[in-house]
């Protein structure tokens, strides 16, 4: 292992990690918003839109991100829709992630007991107040592990941004590999960089899960 | 000129070429799924074993596949192993190795989860009826485990199929690569790229969607 | 006097089973109506239909001079005037007791928070839970939870309160602490429709007893007469089977046989 080589290229990887993280988090944020919207459209049974949400979720969950990205980046411009690489990255990740987030929110909502909804209704809350104050907070608490799993999954998926010619971690490594020939060091740093990015997310997920468990969330009913 | 673009798909043997490319990814996926199920069972059993060391190895293995993007693992094996150990694996072999490494751990974790999720009193009340250990396994535990497991295993399988799209990145001529070759040949049709990528997108969807629907319906059926 | 609530010939079926088969009922202001009957007779369904948790197939329900049986999305306005408490308490687990109490009055009725809070403190004190305002529901016993649920419903100042087997999930020693609160409410003149299996409580609190069987009201009367001398054979059998079963199983609590609805 050539430590000098590794040391001298840390800034390159830091720059790549910053690209990965920035666009990854951007996509994750948009995916959460889109997922929540889709989940609510289905929950409130909004005509037409709930069907559209369902169709979108199936489409996004059953196709690879790589193919989605090629379609956005190399296919769409040929029919006159030109998007920058960065836009493709965020749109692609949002498109893929929104479906997974929607499913996480949905199973969270389903885990809230029906009687909770009825108790809210009996207080004369509107449907929106009911979901805002009673159902969603409980659903979110149950959905936290699934949501964090999605975040990790999506950040890993950003490794495909390299096909968009973005200088993310993957592309930084690939460029170094093809130019320098120090394959082992390059790949070692690549793995280490992803570990450094994702370990904190994973620790955060554990922490959140434990705190919620202590707070007595979840659907177990004590009599 | 869009109507011209879409005709590229059906010119000559282009569509068959795409399907052949798709078969390359599917073949990798099927081999991977088979290996992952067999080794995953072992993995799950080891995860529940008494040996602390064996459990830790599984734990680390699982964390590696959870943290590392599959693309990074592919690069490690395809480019790294040649340098490190002098193994010159071709793209397909690397892909099967990496995806099986990943699938084994994920399958194993599913098996472990399903086995430990059956409430203790199921075993106890079966024992109270005087059933033998083998009978308890055969009639009580196995059917419940399979019901819990089947939808999850199917879901993981669609993930494996989708992930095999990555082999394009290590120079395997699969459906995306074939698509790009077609686009290259028909560069005079400006909208060819749009239709070819759309077709690849749709092909993946048509394969994964029915499998997902199956998993969903099994899940609902077993839930009742 | 005009009744608060009029239920006119309502029908309700689940999957081809007629659960309510033509039930009519008037409740006057300040009246306490207790509904009893065997499991599956439709008594819980009747309460759930009244505040729109179940949609009725036929018939009408009126709250004062408003027909409420076909309001659809606007039902929430009516529910602000009808309180309901269930056997499973259904406190909101992610909120402290006080937040559980404030949610309805502040969000649904848009009352000022301070005003409701003062009232809530007073009501908690009256039911013996003054020190629990900042507790999370999971730290409370079943009886305490159910008293909080009662206070939560009462803070809405409902014109009518529906109680659906509110002691069915409680350990026997906690039943009376909850039912005493209900008897208090009755003495203050609260209008209530109560489904219960606690016969001695029913006798103590009711102005009128309805006996339901197979989706219809089979008998009704004042408690003194109904419990001593039921007119119909079916009601007599119901009351008898009750004391017979409980006399063998639980000699010290003849009225306390728990039963699922």
Q: Which of A24, A64, A205 to mutate: most B Cβ within 10 Å?
A: A64
Cα C88 to chain centroid distance, Å, stands at 12
Q: What is the pTM of this model?
A: 0.84
Taking the domains of chain A in order of start, what are their residue ranges?
Answer: 3-214
Q: Which of C90, C99, C110, C150 to mutate: most A Cβ within 10 Å?
A: C90
The verdict on a CB contact (< 8 Å) between C108 and A116 is no
Q: Radius of gyration of chain B from Cα atoms?
A: 22
Answer yes or no: are the C-beta atoms of A164 and A66 closer than 8 Å: no
Strand pairing of C17-27 and C32-36? unpaired
Q: Residue A48 contacts by C-beta under 8 Å, 6 or more apart in sequence?
A: none
CATH architecture designation of domain A3-214: Orthogonal Bundle (1.10)
Determine the Cα–Cα distance for residues B49 and B38; give it in Å rounded to an integer: 17
Give yes or no for residue C19 having a pLDDT over 50.
yes
The whole-number average pLDDT for the span B153-176 is: 91
Give yes or no for residue B9 having a pLDDT over 70.
yes
Average pLDDT of chain B is: 88
**DSSP code, position C72:** G
In angstroms, the Cα distances linking A54 to A85, A139, B203, B218, C136 are 28, 20, 19, 19, 37
Answer yes or no: are the C-beta atoms of A103 and A116 closer than 8 Å: no
Provide the residue count of chain A. 223
Contact residues on chain B for A174, CB-CB shorter than 8 A = 75
Map residue C56 onto helix, strand or coil. coil
Determine the Cα–Cα distance for residues C190 and C154; give it in Å rounded to an integer: 9
Residue with tokens 């169709």: A55
Strand pairing of C208-213 and C32-36? parallel
Please provide residue C14's backbone torsions phi and psi, each rounded to the nearest 5 degrees: -115, 120
Give yes or no for residue B127 having a pLDDT over 90.
no
Q: Which domains does chain B have, with CATH numbers?
A: 6-222 (1.10.3720.10)
pLDDT at C256: 46
Query: Band of the pLDDT at C243, cuts 50, 70, 90?
Result: low
Q: Which of A55, A69, A73, A75 to mutate: most B Cβ within 10 Å?
A: A75
**CA-based max dimension of chain A:** 70
* CA dihedral for A39, C149, C256, C183, sign (positive or negative): negative
The verdict on a CB contact (< 8 Å) between B194 and A75 is yes
Interface chains of chain C (3 or more CB pairs under 8 Å): A
pLDDT at A214: 60
Answer yes or no: are the C-beta atoms of A214 and A30 closer than 8 Å: no
**pLDDT tens digit sequence for B67-100:** 899 999 999 999 888 878 888 888 899 999 999 9
Determine the Cα–Cα distance for residues B131 and B123; give it in Å rounded to an integer: 10
The verdict on a CB contact (< 8 Å) between A129 and C107 is yes
Give yes or no for residue B41 having a pLDDT over 80.
yes
User: Which residue of chain B has the CA closest to A187?
Assistant: B76
A151 to chain B, any CB pair closer than 8 A? The answer is no
Query: Band of the pLDDT at B138, cuts 50, 70, 90?
Result: confident
**pLDDT tens digit sequence for C68-83:** 988 888 888 999 999 9
Cβ neighbours around B38 below 10 Å, total: 13
Determine the Cα–Cα distance for residues C2 and B102; give it in Å rounded to an integer: 73
The verdict on a CB contact (< 8 Å) between A159 and B69 is yes
pLDDT at C2: 81
Paired strand residues for C8: C60
Share of chain B above pLDDT 90, in %: 42
In angstroms, the Cα distances linking A148 to A102, A143, A151 are 13, 9, 5
The verdict on a CB contact (< 8 Å) between A137 and C94 is yes
pLDDT tens, N- to C-terminus, chain A (223 residues): 788 888 888 888 999 999 999 999 999 999 999 999 999 999 888 999 999 999 999 999 999 999 999 999 988 888 888 889 999 999 999 999 999 999 999 999 999 989 999 999 999 999 999 999 999 999 998 899 899 999 999 999 999 998 898 889 999 998 888 887 788 888 999 999 999 999 999 899 888 888 877 665 544 433 2
Provide the residue count of chain B. 224
The crossing angle, in degrees rounded to 10, of helices B142-163 and B91-117 is: 150
Give yes or no for residue B35 having a pLDDT over 90.
yes
**DSSP code, position A164:** G
Interface predicted TM-score of the whole assembly (ipTM), two decimals: 0.85
Task: Count helices and strands (H / E) in chain A.
Answer: 10, 0
C136 to chain A, any CB pair closer than 8 A? The answer is yes
């Amino acid at each position: 292992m050539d430590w000098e080589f590794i040391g001298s290229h840390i800034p390159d990887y830091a720059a790549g990690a910053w690209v990965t993280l920035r666009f990854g988090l951007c996509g994750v944020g948009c995916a959460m918003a889109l997922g929540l919207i889709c989940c609510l459209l289905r929950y409130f049974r909004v005509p037409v839109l709930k069907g559209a949400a369902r169709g979108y979720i199936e489409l996004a969950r059953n196709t690879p991100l790589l193919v989605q990205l090629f379609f956005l980046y190399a296919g769409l411009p040929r029919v006159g829709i030109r998007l920058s690489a960065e836009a493709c990255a965020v749109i692609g990740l949002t498109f893929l992630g929104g479906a997974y987030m929607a499913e996480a929110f949905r199973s969270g909502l389903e885990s809230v007991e029906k009687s909770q909804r009825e108790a809210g209704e009996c207080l004369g809350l509107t449907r929106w107040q009911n979901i805002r104050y009673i159902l969603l907070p409980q659903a979110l608490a149950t959905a936290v592990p699934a949501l964090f799993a999605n975040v990790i999954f999506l950040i890993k998926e950003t490794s495909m941004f390299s096909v968009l010619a973005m200088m993310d971690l993957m592309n930084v490594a690939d460029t170094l590999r093809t130019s320098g020939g120090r394959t082992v060091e390059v790949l070692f740093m690549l793995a280490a960089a992803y570990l450094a990015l994702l370990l904190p997310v994973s620790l955060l997920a554990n922490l959140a899960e434990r705190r919620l468990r202590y707070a007595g969330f979840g659907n177990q009913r004590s009599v | 000129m869009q109507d011209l673009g879409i005709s590229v798909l059906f010119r000559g043997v282009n569509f068959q070429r795409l399907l052949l490319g798709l078969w390359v990814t599917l073949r990798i996926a099927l081999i991977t799924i088979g290996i992952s199920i067999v080794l995953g069972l072992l993995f799950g059993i080891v995860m529940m074993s008494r040996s602390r060391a064996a459990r830790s190895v599984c734990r680390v293995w699982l964390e590696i596949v959870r943290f590392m993007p599959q693309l990074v693992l592919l690069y490690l094996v395809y480019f790294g192993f040649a340098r490190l150990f002098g193994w010159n694996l071709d793209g397909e072999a690397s892909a099967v190795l990496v995806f099986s490494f990943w699938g084994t751990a994920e399958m194993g974790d599913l098996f472990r989860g399903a086995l430990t999720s059956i409430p203790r009193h199921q075993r106890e009340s079966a024992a109270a009826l005087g059933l033998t250990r083998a009978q308890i396994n055969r009639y009580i535990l196995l059917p419940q485990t399979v019901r819990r497991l089947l939808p999850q295993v199917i879901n993981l399988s669609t993930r494996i199929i989708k992930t095999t799209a990555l082999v394009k990145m290590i120079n395997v001529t699969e459906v995306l690569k074939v698509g790009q070759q077609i686009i290259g040949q028909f560069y005079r049709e400006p909208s060819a790229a749009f239709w070819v990528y759309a077709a690849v997108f749709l092909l993946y969807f048509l394969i994964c969607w029915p499998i997902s629907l199956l998993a969903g319906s099994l899940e609902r059926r077993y839930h009742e | 006097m005009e009744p608060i609530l009029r239920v006119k010939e309502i029908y309700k079926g689940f999957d081809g089973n007629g659960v309510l088969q033509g039930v009519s009922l008037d409740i006057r202001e300040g009246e306490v109506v207790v509904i009893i009957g065997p499991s599956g007779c439709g008594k819980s369904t009747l309460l759930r239909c009244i505040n729109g948790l179940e949609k009725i197939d036929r018939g009408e329900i009126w709250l004062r001079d408003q027909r409420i049986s076909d309001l659809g999305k606007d039902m929430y306005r009516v529910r602000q005037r009808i309180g309901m408490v269930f056997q499973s308490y259904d406190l909101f687990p992610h909120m402290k007791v006080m937040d559980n109490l404030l949610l309805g009055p502040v969000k649904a009725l848009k009352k000022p928070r301070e005003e409701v809070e003062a009232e809530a403190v007073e009501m908690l004190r009256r039911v013996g839970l003054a020190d629990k305002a900042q507790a999370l529901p999971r730290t409370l016993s079943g009886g305490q939870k159910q008293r909080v649920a009662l206070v939560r419903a009462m803070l809405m100042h409902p014109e009518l309160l529906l109680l659906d087997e509110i002691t069915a999930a409680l350990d026997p020693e906690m039943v009376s602490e909850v039912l005493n609160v209900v008897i208090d409410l009755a003495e203050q003149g609260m209008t209530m429709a109560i489904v219960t299996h606690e016969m001695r409580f029913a006798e103590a609190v009711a102005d009128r007893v309805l006996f339901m069987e197979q989706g219809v009201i089979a008998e009704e009367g004042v408690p003194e007469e109904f419990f001593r001398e039921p007119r119909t054979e079916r009601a007599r059998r119901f009351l008898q089977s009750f004391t017979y079963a409980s006399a063998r199983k639980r000699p010290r609590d003849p009225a306390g046989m728990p039963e699922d609805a």
